[in-house]
Amino acid sequence: MPNVQRSLQPVPFTQVQLTDGFWAPRQETNRRVTLQHIHRKLQETGRIAAFDLNFTRKVPSPIVEIFGDSDVAKWIEAVSYSLATHPDPQLAQTLDGVVDKVIAAQQPDGYLNTHFIVVQPEMRWKNLRDWHEMYCAGHLMEGAVAHAQATGQRKLLDALARYADHIDATFGPEPGKKRGYCGHPEIELALVRLYHATGNPRYLKLATFFVDERGQQPHYFDIEARERGEDPASFWAKTYEYCQAHVPIRQQDKVVGHAVRAMYLFSAVADLAHENNDPSLRETCDRLWDNLIHRRMYITGGIGPSRHNEGFTEDYDLPDETAYAETCATIGLIFWNHRLLQFEGDRRFADVMERGLYNGFLSGVTLSGDRFLYENPLSTNGSRHHEEWFYCPCCPPNVARLLASVGGYFYSTGAEDVWVHLFASNHASLEVAGTALTLREETQYPWDGKVTLQMELERPATFTLHLRVPEWCPGYRLSVNGKALQVQPGPDGYLAVRREWQSGDTVVYEMDMPVQLIWSNPAVRQLEGRVAIQRGPVVYCLESVDNPTTPLDRISIDPEGFLKACTVEYRPDLLGGVAVIHGPGRAIEAEGWGEVLYRPEAPGEKEITLTAVPYCTWDNREPGEMRVWLRA
C-alpha cells in the first residue's frame, strides 16, 4: 500500500533563487511584462472595477463575466509570489490598491462575489453547478494566502477567512445547511491552504465535506435544478462527468470530463489523503494517475483533447491537430503531480511534472510575455497563434502565478534527506539534519545534462542526497569531490548518496542526453506511423520558418538514419538561447500533379535537412505551420 503520510517537504520557492538561462529570464519577463500586461487587461475588461460594485450587466450574464473575480484573484496570487522574491515598491502599491478594492466589496455577512452582490443577489448559491461562486472564492483564498505570506499583512487573509466562515455556515452535512459543492472544483484545495495559513480546522473539515459529498445520491445538482424550476436533464453537458460529480470520487476509475476541474479536484484529493490519513483517497489518486498518464496524456504534458467539454473523451484519443490541451489543464497536472511526489519521492511523478513544465506549460506564453495560448495543439497549418487576451482569460494569470513560484518545484527535504527533482542553476537555502545548507547548482540544463552541486554547510552533517534519474536518461555518471561513485537508482528512480557532508563538497552528476525518437502506443490511431523528436525533457517540433521548402506534413524521416546523422546545435541567438536539432528527412514533391486530384502513380520525394526547435518556443517568430509528430 502506498504511503498516506508525505515523507517529503517541498522547499518553498522563496528559498530557491533561479540564476539559469532558461527559467530566470522567463521569470524576469513575467515580472517586467506579464504581470503589468494582465493588470491592464483586467482594467480594460472591468474585472478590477467590478469590486467597486457600481457596474451593470445583462441577466443572464455570460459565465465568463460571472467568474471574473477569479482572474483578479490569480493576478493577486501571481504578484504576491513575485514580490516575495523580488520586491518592487511600484508593483506592491498597485497590488495594495487592488487588494483594498476586494476587501471593500465584502458584505457584512462575509459574502464576496461581485456578480451576485450587484447583478443577481437573489440567486446567491442557487446554481452551484454552473455559476462558479465557490471557484471564485477558492482563487480569492489562494490569493489571500499568497498575499499574507508575501507582505506579512493579514487584511486580505482575514477577509477571506470571513468568507470561508460564511461558506462553512451555509454548506455542510449538519441540519439546516446545504449539502452542495461547486461544479468547478478549486475551493477544496484552497481551503486546505487556508487551513494551514490560519490554523482553523473547520476549513479542513469543509474541504473534506466538499470532496466526500461530490456525486452522492440524491444528486445535489438535480435538487438545485428543480428548485430553480429547471429539468436536470436539460443540462447542456448531459453528464456530470463534466463537473467531476458523476460518481463519488472513490468510485471513479477513469479521468473524464473537464480537464482543469479534474486536476484541481485531484490536487485536493491528494492533499486530503495526507491531511486525513486516508488510504482510500491515495489509492484513488494512483488509480486515476495510471489511467491519465498511460492512456490520456499528450507527449507535451497536455491533457484534454476535446474542445466540446474542454476535457477528456476516451482512452488513446490524442489527435494532434485538434488537440485542445488547455494551458490551465497542464498547470493543474503539474500541481497534482507535485503533491503526489511528496508522498514517497517517486520519480514517475517528477517525470510528469517536468514534462508539463518544459513543454505544454511554457508553450502557453510567448518569450515576450504578453501573448498566450488557451489551446496547445501539436500541429497547425499556420492558423493558430498566441493571443494578447481571451474572452475566457483564465490561462494568462494562471501562467503568471506558476512562473513566479516555479522555484518551489525543484527540491524537497526530509529529516535527513534532500531530494533534487528538477535541474537549473540556482541557489537554494535548506534545512537538513539539524543544520543550514546552501546548495549551489550550476548547469546548462535542459540543453546539457551535466549538473554540478556544491554544498555550503554550517557544520558537517550526515544526510542522504537523492538525485532523480529521469525516465528519458539512458545513462549517467556521478562523482563526489572528483571521486567516481557507482550508485544504482532505487525503486523510486533516484540515486541515493548518504555520507557525512562537509562544506565545500562538490557533486558532479552527468546525465546522458541523446536525441530520441518517441513512438506512441499503436492504440493512438491518429499517430500511427509517426514519431516525435525529444532530447532530455524537451519535446521538439518543426516550424515552417525553419523548414520552408514544403508543407510540414509532407516531411518524413527514416528513424535509424535520422538518429545516426542528426546533430545538436546550441543557438544563443535564437529564441532566447535554445538547442536546435538538424537531421536528414524526405519531403513529398507536388510537381507534375497540376489539377489532378487522384492518379495511379505515387508522388516523388526529395532529400532535405530538417531543423527542429523546442515545442515550448513555437510561434515566437514568423507566423507559419508547426508539427510535432512526423511520418516515419
Nearest to 137 by CA among 175, 194, 65, 202: 194
Answer whether residue 347 shows pLDDT above 80.
Answer: yes
Query: Rounded CA gap, 442 and 423, in Å?
Result: 9
Instruction: Give residue 253's Cα distance to chain centre.
Output: 22
Residues contacting residue 455 through CB under 8 Å, at least 6 positions apart: 437, 438, 439, 501, 502, 503, 504, 505, 506, 507
Nearest to 156 by CA among 219, 212, 102, 213: 102
Answer whether residue 576 shows pLDDT above 70.
Answer: yes
Mean pLDDT for the stretch of residues 553-569: 97
3-state secondary structure of 289: helix
Neighbours of 23 (CB within 10 A): 23
Residues contacting residue 361 through CB under 8 Å, at least 6 positions apart: 301, 327, 330, 331, 334, 399, 402, 616
Identify the helix (H) or strand (E) that includes residue 134. Answer: helix 133-151
Q: Is 394 noted as a catalytic residue in this protein?
A: yes
In contact, 338 and 410? CB cutoff 8 Å: no
3-state secondary structure of 494: strand
Distances (CA, A) of 11 to 79, 203, 346, 410: 20, 24, 17, 8
Nearest to 350 by CA among 360, 340, 358, 359: 340
Identify the helix (H) or strand (E) that includes residue 401. Answer: helix 395-405
pLDDT tens profile 29-76: 999 999 999 999 999 999 999 999 999 999 989 999 999 999 999 999
Q: What is the pLDDT of residue 592?
A: 87
Share of the chain above pLDDT 90, in %: 98
Query: Rounded CA gap, 184 and 385, in Å?
Result: 28
- Determine the residue type at 288: L
Q: What is the pLDDT of residue 1?
A: 65
pLDDT tens profile 269-284: 999 999 999 999 999 9
Q: What is the pLDDT of residue 4?
A: 86
Which runs of consecutive H residues, i.e. helices, occur in 550-596? 559-565
Mean pLDDT for the stretch of residues 335-349: 98
pLDDT tens profile 157-190: 999 999 999 999 999 999 999 999 999 999 999 9
Domains along the chain with CATH numbers: 9-410 (1.50.10), 413-511 (2.60.40.1180), 515-631 (no CATH)
Mean pLDDT for the stretch of residues 6-31: 98
Mean pLDDT for the stretch of residues 485-499: 97
pLDDT tens profile 69-98: 999 999 999 999 999 999 999 999 999 999
Q: Which three cell numbers stand for residue 129?
A: 453547478
Q: What is the pLDDT of residue 538?
A: 98
Is the bond into 460 cis (omega within 30 degrees of 0)?
A: no
Nearest to 495 by CA among 479, 514, 513, 481: 479
pLDDT band at 3 (very low <50, low <70, confident <90, very high): confident
pLDDT band at 579 (very low <50, low <70, confident <90, very high): very high
Mean pLDDT for the stretch of residues 108-124: 98
Given the residues 188, 213, 275, 310, select the one marked as catalytic.
Answer: 310
Q: What is the pLDDT of residue 30?
A: 98
3-state secondary structure of 453: strand
Q: What is the pLDDT of residue 550?
A: 81
Query: Rounded CA gap, 195 and 206, in Å?
Result: 10
How is residue 14 annotated by DSSP?
G
Nearest to 195 by CA among 95, 262, 268, 104: 268
Mean pLDDT for the stretch of residues 442-465: 98
Given the residues 394, 395, 541, 566, select the one marked as catalytic.
Answer: 394
3-state secondary structure of 225: helix
Query: Rounded CA gap, 109 and 607, in Å?
Result: 72
In contact, 24 and 416? CB cutoff 8 Å: no
Share of the chain above pLDDT 70, in %: 100
DSSP string, 364-385: GB-TTSS-B-SS--SEESS---
Nearest to 481 by CA among 517, 514, 461, 454: 454
Mean pLDDT, the chain, whole residue set:
97
Q: Is 601 noted as a catalytic residue in this protein?
A: no
Instruction: Give residue 463's Cα distance to chain centre.
Output: 31
Nearest to 360 by CA among 394, 398, 328, 322: 328
Residues contacting residue 241 through CB under 8 Å, at least 6 positions apart: 256, 257
Query: Rounded CA gap, 330 and 315, in Å?
Result: 18
pLDDT tens profile 594-628: 999 999 999 999 999 999 999 999 999 999 999 99
pLDDT tens profile 367-405: 999 999 999 999 999 999 999 999 999 999 999 999 999
Q: Which three cell numbers stand for residue 212?
A: 466526500
pLDDT band at 256 (very low <50, low <70, confident <90, very high): very high
Mean pLDDT for the stretch of residues 521-527: 96
Answer whether residue 520 shows pLDDT above 90.
Answer: yes
Q: What is the pLDDT of residue 584?
A: 98
Mean pLDDT for the stretch of residues 105-109: 98
3-state secondary structure of 632: coil
Mean pLDDT for the stretch of residues 407-430: 98
